[in-house]
Amino acid sequence: MLPKVANHLLHHTARAVAAAQNQTGHTIRNVLQLQSSSGTSSSNSGRSSYGAGSGGPKYSSGRTYTGYSGAGRAVTQAESITSNDATYGGEDELEETSSEIPKAPSLAQKKGIFLHAPVRGKETLTVLKKVQSTIRSQHAFAARAGGDDTLVDLFPPSSLPPPSNVLAIDEKSFEENAPSLVSSTPPKSAEKDAAEQEVFKVINDAEATGDRSRVLEAVEGLRSQSRLLSAAGYNAALRAVSSVRQPGEDLRVILGLYNDMLHRSILPNFRTYINLITAFTDRDVEVQGVIRVIELRIKKRSAFGRADSSANAVDQKRLAALRAESNFRSAMTLFQSACAVPANAPSMEIYAALLRSCALHANVDAAVRVFAHLERRSDVLPSPQIFDYLISAYSNVGDLHGAKEVFEEFKESCRSNRISSFKPSGIPKVDKTLATKARMSRINVWNRMIKAYILGGQHTLAIGLLEQMLDTKAGDALKVADIPPPSASTFGQIIRGFCDVGEVDTALSWFDRLLEQDVPPRSPWEASVTPARPDRAMYVKLIDSLAVLGRIDDMNRVFSQFLERAPQDSLQVTEYERRTVSQANYYLRPQANAESDEDYTPATSDIAAETAADDHRLVQVPADYDATVIGQTIDQCLFPPNNANAHQAYDRFNNARQKGQYPHTGVMARLIGYLGREGEVMKIRDVYQAAQTLLATMEYDKEGQSAGWFQIEDSMIIGLAHAGDVDAAHVHRVRIMDHGGMPTADAYGALIHHVKDTTDDASNAMALWQEAQAGAVRPNIYLYNTIISKLAKARRADDALALFHEMKHNQGLAPSSVTYGALIAACCRVGDASSAERLFDEMSQQSNFKPRIPPYNTMMQLYTHTKPDRARVLHYYEALLNANVKPTAHTYKLLLDAYGTIEPIDNQAAEAVFERVTSGSRPLVQGTHWASLINSWGCAQKNLERALAIFDSIASHPSTRRSGTVLPDAVIFEALINVLVTHRRTDIIPQYMQRLESHGVHMTAYIANLLIKGYAAVGDIERSREIFESLADPPEGVAAPHNHAPHDNEAAAAPVPTNALVYREPSTWEAMVRAELGNANRDEAIALLQRLQARKFPPAVYNRISGIMLDDSVSPWATPSASP
């Protein structure tokens, strides 16, 4: 009997090797004998990442993590993640892209994160000896180039807000909510609010029923609340939705809640992050499992000579979509934020879930950081799961030494009783499940190390561990320090490990020996020193491995044994195994092909079977209703477009659907578009799913089905783009093109309109325009307006005018006021006043002219800043009033600049304008108005004392309190610093920078630009360099965040934490180059240009800055009249 021989013959590794070379018979030693002959080969010719020889060298394919070591402290420090260049129009330009403007999503800002915790005493776990040097050499959670294993502070495009707008962290909210993770009781402040109490009750009652539809209905009720709720209400909803989430279901509903939370400017707290981390890690496990299945499927097709199968293309797309979810990176970023405050204490389950994902992604760096945070806590001890996943992470990168050190530390922790989640003995019967799980969690650690040894080519050491488990004297009353007995999963890991390293013969030997055992298969959870026969997982693993290797005879033998043993061993043979065996025999045995039916092959059945789970089930829709009538009731809510009520239209649609009644696809497509403009992503996807149900019933009308499919897909591009989920919109764009079609002009217009926050929006927009042109998409006025607007903002006036003439003469389209507004802005940006005036007059004479604020403000700004002429400013202001257009806050700001900076200065008129914006119960006053006054007195009139007095009066001014605006803001501080630089008063700049911080104002790159200029002007170039180097570069191709104030028609952004990173703008590089040249440091300026070029800015940006170097006589500072 297997364990008997093992117990009597092999107690140590050396004896195991000797016995393996000399023994024969039906014992475990025969298996060892077979594998030892191949084990040496494996050590030298196995997977290259493990190297040769005993133990193998450390994995070193470009990674820079520090290996695991038993001694030393874990010290972790996570890297912080956390006015303007004048533009023409600013807020006005946003209006110029379409007559229907979608709501801009509310964005929460990131906060600088640092991990700080008290040092524990002598009994602390000393696991990560080299973590400190690891962190120093490679900052935690910094963005790095790479694949899935990189850690960045980004959320996945299709599921969360854009990268730089994700986390809003408030330390008070952390401290107030840190103690409990599962309590459904709202905070005390919420208890006083009857409405929120009712929300809690509805959500908790729905969750208690486990009824998914009831939970979703309750959550939708929460989101429909017009009043502001607390984070606690959203946390309860997140928990409830998670509790009814189906296996394999995406996180759309959960992330919709989170996005809604941010949209309402409700700051997430510790519980929020924990809920999201749990969701992301659970989803990550599901996604990685599906990825492995698909990859195996592709590998089998390749082995069968079907690499060019059409099903492969489908699977590759599915793989790309799954890998794009980036759940792991999102979870790690949230973990960093959740742990930013030392008082926050994640549960052991959170640590384990994160480490599980670290192992799946073979990311040792992340695993080290997670464990480091756990190790620094004095209130908890790690569970066996922690060590299990750590070993797996090291093993998956080929670091056998690191895995071994983790395992040794685990054993030492067990001996010294420094491990949690294990009840040693005397457990009551009611806790038997807990005891079983505790025992199994420790067995899993041993299993993991056995497999690690096999993957690392150290087969003898793997068998040595198994021998220790077989020799254990521990029974059911397993003590903490005892060596656990093996379970069925132990032998399963051995077979799986040998298959994974390509030693299928050794795996077969183990399998055959297990077949001879008298005990039927056990549950993987059941531990025993008596081995049992193979379970289903072992059969499946061997069948797959043998099929991929083309070992048809061996595969057929194993499958025959599977069929023979299945009844007596209570095993289930599924279609999966039958299909694998069928395909392998068909494609790899020539004689099998000779008599096959050409119209029905395994390939045909394979595609159908593999994609069946993704197909929409056909439903029977009642035919006793008029779809046109249903559509009319919905369309009544969508017309006229300027008074559309998308929410009411959705309610009518939903009511009809519940009766099994659907409108035509065209109506559903319109509804999706309007819901997109309201930012209702969840409802968009709901209508989309309903459309698929309707399309599935149209098999009798293939032409109508195809047309309807295109309508819905195209509307998804429009709706998702307007809702802000641009990446998801591109998924539908690609889907249409993959099926031989092209999106409509409206779809391309929506995509171009939402190209933003990149370093070269115009080029990215032009790429879409050119794709549409190449696909013969006929442009409409909306598409022209959006592309012309993008070109205008990039100062590409010639290109914008060329498209304008093409639109009029080649396409026969009449330009709208929006078109003219974009062109006028383009001309103003390049200082072409005559063209701007001509276009303005032409616009005013059009029969379809509709006066709008942007063109008037643009012309006023041209004559205020670029070509100062107060008379022309007032001319366009009067024209604005005569056209019955209401001035905006920006209009008044331009008037203040015109009176306060253009000679002769008219302080009386400027004061009258300022009185207008500060009067009334809800004054229009903004930071830009105060900044204009400060600039006028301090720079134009050279009155420093008056400028400082104005600044000091802002916080207490009556209009500040009435407006509800937090002042002074960054724009005001920028104006003040500019005044100090102008007066060369760098000696008092530090005190105002301290006030900036004390007011909770985040410094911008534009303030930094002025500081660089100011210190360089007084000869302190080192201070300028220090300021420049203290700033960060945004990710390549992404515009720098947090530097621009919101415009008239934008919602105020959430405050940016003062310690958040400040990102360089292109103008920052220009300021530093000028500073070096101004101090006669030409070589340093050239070095800066080289760094700038490496950043891969658009050529126009680089050429503008490098142009400073063309003439040695050029002034290092831009003249006041230079284009901003």
Q: What one-character DSSP code corresponds to residue 1038?
A: B
SS3 letters across 1039-1060: CCCCCCCCCCCCCCCCCCCCCC
The tally of CA atoms less than 13 A away on the side-chain side of residue 362 is: 12
The mean pLDDT value for 532-543 works out to 93
pLDDT of residue 1037: 63
Quote the tokens at residue 334: 């949230």
| 212-226, 262-276, 770-784: least confidently modelled range | 212-226
CA-wise closest residue to 490 among 435, 453, 544: 453
pLDDT of residue 249: 82
User: What is the pTM assigned to this prediction?
Assistant: 0.46
Dihedral angle computed from the Cα positions of residues 701, 705, 708 and 709, in that order, rounded to the nearest 10 degrees: 180
Judge residue 771's burial from the number of C-beta atoms within 10 Å of its C-beta, 0-12 exposed, 13-18 middle, 19 or more buried.
Answer: middle
Please, which pLDDT band fits residue 1023 given cuts at 50, 70 and 90? very high
Is residue 257's pLDDT more than 80?
yes
Please, which pLDDT band fits residue 962 given cuts at 50, 70 and 90? confident
Q: Is the link from the previous residue into 162 a cis peptide, with omega within 30 of 0?
A: no
Please, which pLDDT band fits residue 22 given cuts at 50, 70 and 90? very low
> What 3-state DSSP class applies to 472?
coil
Q: Which helix (H) or strand (E) holds 505?
A: helix 504-515
Q: Which amino acid is at 3?
A: P
Distance of alpha carbon 455 from alpha carbon 830, whole angstroms = 64
pLDDT of residue 1054: 56
The angle that helices 252-263 and 270-303 make with each other, rounded to 10 degrees, is 140
Domains identified in the chain and CATH numbers? 104-124+139-349 (no CATH), 627-794 (1.25.40), 853-1109 (1.25.40)
Give per-residue pLDDT as tens, 41-87: 333 333 333 333 333 322 233 333 333 333 222 222 222 222 333 33
Q: What one-character DSSP code corresponds to residue 1107?
A: G
The angle that helices 970-982 and 927-935 make with each other, rounded to 10 degrees, is 10
CB 680 within 8 A of CB 255: no
pLDDT of residue 1045: 58
Q: Can you count the helices (H) and strands (E) in the chain?
A: 53, 0
Non-local CB neighbours of 654 within 8 Å, separated by 6+ positions: none
Quote the tokens at residue 628: 């046109």
| 412-416, 431-435, 473-477: least confidently modelled range | 431-435
Is residue 224's pLDDT more than 80?
no
Give per-residue pLDDT as tens, 1001-1011: 988 999 999 99
| 281-285, 433-437, 678-682: least confidently modelled range | 433-437
Distance of alpha carbon 1092 from alpha carbon 1083, whole angstroms = 14
Q: CA separation (Å) from 302 to 295, 298, 588, 591?
A: 11, 6, 11, 20
Q: What one-character DSSP code corresponds to residue 939?
A: I
First to last CA, the chain: 87
Which residue would you say has higher pLDDT here, 619 or 1036?
Answer: 1036
pLDDT of residue 627: 78
pLDDT of residue 403: 93
The mean pLDDT value for 1048-1058 works out to 57
Distance of alpha carbon 818 from alpha carbon 852, whole angstroms = 8
| 114-118, 269-273, 332-336, 410-414: least confidently modelled range | 114-118
Which residue would you say has higher pLDDT here, 826 or 1055?
Answer: 826
Please, which pLDDT band fits residue 1123 given cuts at 50, 70 and 90? very low
Percent of the chain whose pLDDT exceeds 90 = 38
Q: CA separation (Å) from 596 to 123, 301, 904?
A: 70, 18, 95
CB 440 within 8 A of CB 527: yes
Q: What one-character DSSP code corresponds to residue 388?
A: H
Distance of alpha carbon 1013 from alpha carbon 1114, whole angstroms = 16
Give 45-54 contacts, CB < 8 A, sequence gap 24+. Answer: 46/457, 46/501, 46/502, 47/398, 47/455, 47/501, 49/397, 49/398, 50/398, 50/400, 50/455, 50/456, 50/457, 51/398, 52/457, 54/458
The angle that helices 1099-1106 and 1082-1094 make with each other, rounded to 10 degrees, is 180
Give per-residue pLDDT as tens, 886-939: 999 999 999 999 999 999 999 999 999 999 999 888 888 999 999 999 999 999
Dihedral angle computed from the Cα positions of residues 975, 976, 981 and 983, in that order, rounded to the nearest 10 degrees: 120
Please, which pLDDT band fits residue 879 given cuts at 50, 70 and 90? very high
Which residue would you say has higher pLDDT here, 524 or 665?
Answer: 665
The mean pLDDT value for 336-356 works out to 86
> What 3-state DSSP class applies to 70?
coil
Give per-residue pLDDT as tens, 822-848: 999 999 988 999 999 999 999 998 887
Which residue would you say has higher pLDDT here, 553 or 310?
Answer: 553
Please, which pLDDT band fits residue 703 given cuts at 50, 70 and 90? confident
Which residue would you say has higher pLDDT here, 337 or 548?
Answer: 548
CB 747 within 8 A of CB 718: yes
Per-chain mean pLDDT for the chain: 75
Please, which pLDDT band fits residue 193 given cuts at 50, 70 and 90? low
Please, which pLDDT band fits residue 642 given cuts at 50, 70 and 90? low
Give per-residue pLDDT as tens, 132-157: 333 333 333 233 333 333 223 323 33
The mean pLDDT value for 726-753 works out to 92
Distance of alpha carbon 845 from alpha carbon 814, whole angstroms = 13
Percent of the chain whose pLDDT exceeds 70 = 73
